[in-house]
Structure 1
Amino acid sequence: MQDGSLIRLSVFVSILALMTLWQTLAPARSTSVAPRQRWLSNFGLMVMGALLARLAVPAGLAGLAFNLQQQHWGLFNLTQWPLWLEVIVGLLILDCAIYWQHRLFHVVPFLWRFHRVHHADPHVDVSTGVRFHPLEILLSLLIKMAVVALFGIAPLTILMFEVILNATSLFNHTNVRLPGWLERPLRWLIVTQAMHRIHHSQRPVETNSNYGFNLSVWDRLFGSYTHRARLGDSGVQLGLRQYPKTENNTSLKALLLMPFRR
């Protein structure tokens, strides 16, 4: 388990450093929002969410999966699957579950209270990829635990998925713009920055689309795909209208209290 945590942390730090350098050298959009305040708040949320998840489930999802394996609990633990097939199917199940979880957090008003902390960011960059309220992290963990228990997903699959999910969240929130010849075919497979910026639009019809975090197939398959924002990628107005670009809406305290205020 310690090796798994080290792998996740190493990949996270490496991708974070690479994406930060990329958006610094070639930013897609400029912003008037003070980056220092935003980054302190966004990464503060990340640290608090990680600590809360560790307190709630000390062994993590991989530890839960290991215990379920020993007890022969869940679909994969009751049947014989080739390891390669079990990993592929398990990754697809988890990615699809994250898609529906994300969609659920937009539809259910109680859950949206927490998820709007993520969408209230007035600028989208790599730090937005870790900006989630700690209680949303906890709720997400409970949903993933249910999926892992139901299907008996292996610890190896979970480790791979957590590494991929963290990396893609940093990637598709990064403030860069891929060239069209690369972005167009790439978004048939994975969620690109331009595709995900549409999801952060202030227009509700655009916000309530492009829910995928990793694979883009789910949005196409379940009818939530938006190919292009009405005003184009450079014209998308980011954030939420009810949370303007002020320090009162970007401080860590304000973000923590946001779900509990009208």
Structure 2
Amino acid sequence: MDWNNFILENEVPIRLGFFFGILLLVALWEILTPRRLLSQPKILRWSHNLGLTFLNSLLLRLLFPAAAVGVAVFAGQQGWGLFNYYHLPLALSAIVSVILLDGIIYLQHVMVHAIPLLWRLHRVHHADLDFDVTTGARFHPLEIIFSMLIKFAAILLLGPPVLAVVIFEILLNATSMFNHGNLRLPVKVDRVLRLFVVTPDMHRVHHSIEDDETNSNFGFNLPWWDRLFGTYKAQPDAGHEGMTIGIDRFRDPTKVERLPGMLLLPFSGNSTGYTINRRNWNKRPKA
């Protein structure tokens, strides 16, 4: 069987199957063991957050029909990228590729917190007043396009196997929904699990209203990058039940929890409030 052709022909149903399956699983888990009480009506947030997700999916399909998998196939045909120059066993090259791609996504995440223009886009993700599975898929379309271009460049540089790109895309989607889940895990389970994957309690710190906490725990999938680069914070200062989610100056639900407001948010206010490159961090900064 030609795995590249099989993956290309079935990539969309494979990814959609995993997306909806994991979305449903985490959503049911949130109902059974919620970590926090939500401050906004779930049906309102879900309809607008998922509406933004579907808009992004349509936009990407129109702009980049072949998506990341198509770029991986192209890189392989041209012999471009590290793993097309140095041939390793498929399993080894796939594992190393997934790890390296995840490291690049970590660096990209740090970058959108460091550059004011990019923070304008990324704060759509952070402006959600609650934190649940749909937050993990809530991004501004311009950030989604930027992220895809970064991913294309990484694939052309690395030349990963097509299988690795599919696994990475599925993992990134799955772990993003899991670690944004409003899930209560036993403390001992969380302590062990966060050694291998970013957990909801670990990533929730990143969505704190406090800027020093927002600028920590950048990992989406693997938790090692934050420890390696000194951006790890174990727990929020106010505790998970007491912490405030969101951005200080964007607290109006009619704007930050509605699709039109999300699309316009990058063009509102200034862009320096939470960026990493400020000389001083203050509690409750201006956005």
TM range (shorter): over 0.9
Q: Deviations over 1:42-65 (max 9, x none)?
A: 111111111221222111110111
Alignment RMSD, CA only? 0.9
Residue 82 (structure 2) aligned to one of 75, 92, 110: 75
Q: Deviations over 1:116-135 (max 9, x none)?
A: 00000000001101101111
Q: Verify the 8 A CA contact 2:39 2:129 in the aligned structure 1.
A: no
Q: What 5-or-longer segments of structure 1 have no aligned partner?
A: none
Q: Verify the 8 A CA contact 1:37 1:250 in the aligned structure 2.
A: yes
Alignment of 1:144-155 (within 5 A): 144-155=151-162
Residue 249 (structure 2) aligned to one of 242, 245, 253: 242
Residue 69 (structure 2) aligned to one of 62, 86, 104: 62
- Measured in 2, the distance between the counterparts of 1:2 and 1:29 equals 41
Please say which of residues 45-54 and 156-165 is displaced more in the overlay.
45-54
Percent of pairs with identical residues: 47
Alignment of 1:113-262 (within 5 A): 113-262=120-269
Shift of 1:250: 1.3
Shift of 1:261: 1.7
Q: Report how many aligned residue pairs link the two structures.
A: 262
Helix, strand or coil for the counterpart of 2:125?
A: helix
Alignment of 1:13-28 (within 5 A): 13-28=20-35
1:29 aligns with 2:50: no
* Letter of the 1:53 counterpart: L
Q: Verify the 8 A CA contact 1:202 1:237 in the aligned structure 2.
A: yes
- Measured in 2, the distance between the counterparts of 1:249 and 1:59 equals 32
Shift of 1:245: 4.2
Taking structure 1 as the reference length, the TM-score comes to 0.98
Off by >4 Å, runs of 4+ in structure 1:
none
Taking structure 2 as the reference length, the TM-score comes to 0.89
Shift of 1:32: 2.7
